[in-house]
Amino acid sequence: MKEVIEDMKKRIFLRITKRLQAVVPMFAVVAVAAVMILAAGADSASARVYIDINSPGLKRLPIAVVDFAGIAEGTELADIVRSDLDFTGLFAFINKSAYIESAGAPFSPENWRPLGIDAVVKGTAEAAADGTLSIVVSVYDVVESSNILKKKYSSRKDLIRPLAHRIADDIYEALTGQKPYFSSRIAFIGQDGDRKSIYLMDYDGQRAKKIVSRGDITMKPRWSPDSRKLYYSSLRGTRWGIYELDLDAATESKQYSSGATDLVGDITQDGTYMLFSSSGKGSPDIYRLHLGTKILTRITHSDNIEVSPSASPDGKLMVYVSDKSTVPQLYIMNMEGADSRRLTFEGSYNTTPEWSRAGDLIVFTGIVGGRFQVYTIKPNGSELRQLTDTGTNEEPSFSPDGRFITFTSDRDGAKGVYIMTVNGDGQKRISPRNIRAFGPSWSH
């Protein structure tokens, strides 16, 4: 998809966002910034500033997304953009039939103030003779009567969904100052018949497709920080190995195989190291492989099982699973294997940890009443929370911003990939019904 652009962010907005980011915890900034930007200059601004998006009393930003003018695809594009923004839980929508201003008419704040709308998204869509779509999107601030964003896009007609996600990404970033994620994808393991294959789908469950079908068994994949590569353990013949799939080049290469059981855990955020476990020396221990130099470093040296390492965002620590207490529990240690401390004490089976890329939270699978459930815990061991309780729920993975979690559940019968907020709200299945799906991993 090509795009050409002029990006018109207001200085005042940038100033406010920066100041907020410096002082407000990450999660709070999203909502505060979203509201602040548009409330700037308004008398009632102070009533909206102190919002905790994790509280049930969150005030959503009232926004209108008008069906794009021009061709029929304009409506579909606007629908997807609306759906993306709605997913965040940060925006409020009114029924579009209540809109006064038509798609083709120029923006006028007077048409929106009576509806209580603070931000308006408008666009035009054209199709060239070869089917190429050209889109122009504008975002307006009703309160300030100003244009926050104006951007042009062009795309092939059959790529309308990624195009719409791209537009929603830009709107979200312009309004919140946060890294957007509507173009993110979820990799998972799909099973049709006996065969397990790697699938990719958009974060909203659309466009699921099989991408790797080699090997007898393939395990939950992990993403490179640039989301261009996947790493996974796969059984080929009688040998486990860790493989890298380059999504741009569509090539697969073996990264490591000891001849025993090698299980990839994570790629550090700077893309330098692959963390994994290997039983090549007897019992499963944690290793790191420098992906550039291929230098291998063994991190743990024990006769216990040590598996599933996941790095902290700064790359200094990792959370991992060990049975050194006789049952699997989570531990945290540094990259050299020192300063190990036990993280989980509740329950007798805690596995599959993932450290949020956004910071201060770890998600994992525990057991209660003989069933797996998804939990979160702070890296200091506080605030243990059970997020699921229906059926069996496991293998959680954070969204890029840490506000959502994808996981495997069998609550509807066959296993499927689900998502929910980091608080456990809005649990819903997103993977296609016709595939047994599990082991989801959210791109960065």
Partner 1 sequence: MKYLMLLVMLLALVVSGCATTDVAVPDDGKKGKDTVKKSDGRDDVIKVDRDKIREGALSEDQIRAQMASLFKDIRFGYNRYDVPEEEKANLRKIADWLLKNSNVSVLIEGHCDERGTNEYNLALGDQRAQSTKNYLVSLGIPANRLETISFGKEKPLCMEHSEECWSKNRRAHFVSSK
Binding residues for partner 1, rule: CB under 8 A, are 216-217, 219-220, 233, 235, 237-238, 240, 260-261, 263, 277, 279, 282-284, 305, 307-308, 321, 323, 327-328, 349, 351-352, 365, 370, 372, 394-395, 438-439
Query: 62 vs 439, which CB is nearer to partner 1?
Result: 439
Query: 140 vs 199, which CB is nearer to partner 1?
Result: 199
Strand 428-429 relative to strand 285-290, pairing: unpaired
* CA angle, residues 371, 372, 377, in degrees to nearest 5: 135
User: 12: closest CA among 144, 113, 115?
Assistant: 144
* Minimum separation from the CB atom of position 298 to partner 1 (A): 16
User: 20: closest CA among 11, 9, 10, 33?
Assistant: 33
| Cα dihedral sign, 77-78-79-84 | positive
Query: 137 vs 321, which CB is nearer to partner 1?
Result: 321
* Minimum separation from the CB atom of position 240 to partner 1 (A): 7
Query: 43 vs 194, which CB is nearer to partner 1?
Result: 194
* Minimum separation from the CB atom of position 408 to partner 1 (A): 9
* Minimum separation from the CB atom of position 235 to partner 1 (A): 8
Both tokens of 428, joined, read 């819903």
* Minimum separation from the CB atom of position 394 to partner 1 (A): 6
Q: What is the gyration radius of the CA atoms in the chain, in angstroms? A: 23
* Minimum separation from the CB atom of position 217 to partner 1 (A): 5
Query: 312 vs 365, which CB is nearer to partner 1?
Result: 365
Query: 136 vs 305, which CB is nearer to partner 1?
Result: 305
Coil, helix or strand at residue 16: helix
* Minimum separation from the CB atom of position 306 to partner 1 (A): 8
| Cα dihedral sign, 94-97-101-104 | positive
DSSP codes, 136-175 = EEEEEETTTTEEEEEEEEEE-GGGHHHHHHHHHHHHHHHH
Are 162 and 201 within 8 A, CB to CB? no
* Minimum separation from the CB atom of position 354 to partner 1 (A): 12
Query: 216 vs 383, which CB is nearer to partner 1?
Result: 216
Cβ partners under 8 Å of residue 7, min gap 6: 149, 150, 151
On the 0-12 / 13-18 / 19+ scale of CB atoms within 10 A, 106 is: exposed
* Minimum separation from the CB atom of position 382 to partner 1 (A): 24
Distance from C-alpha of 286 to C-alpha of 309, rounded to nearest angstrom: 7
Cβ partners under 8 Å of residue 375, min gap 6: 350, 363, 364, 365, 366, 384, 385, 386, 387
Query: 312 vs 352, which CB is nearer to partner 1?
Result: 352
Query: 238 vs 293, which CB is nearer to partner 1?
Result: 238
Query: 80 vs 417, which CB is nearer to partner 1?
Result: 417
DSSP codes, 39-107 = HTT-GGGHHHH---TTSTT--PEEEEEPPPEESTHHHHHHHHHHHHHHHTT-EE---GGG--S-SSSPP
* Minimum separation from the CB atom of position 326 to partner 1 (A): 8
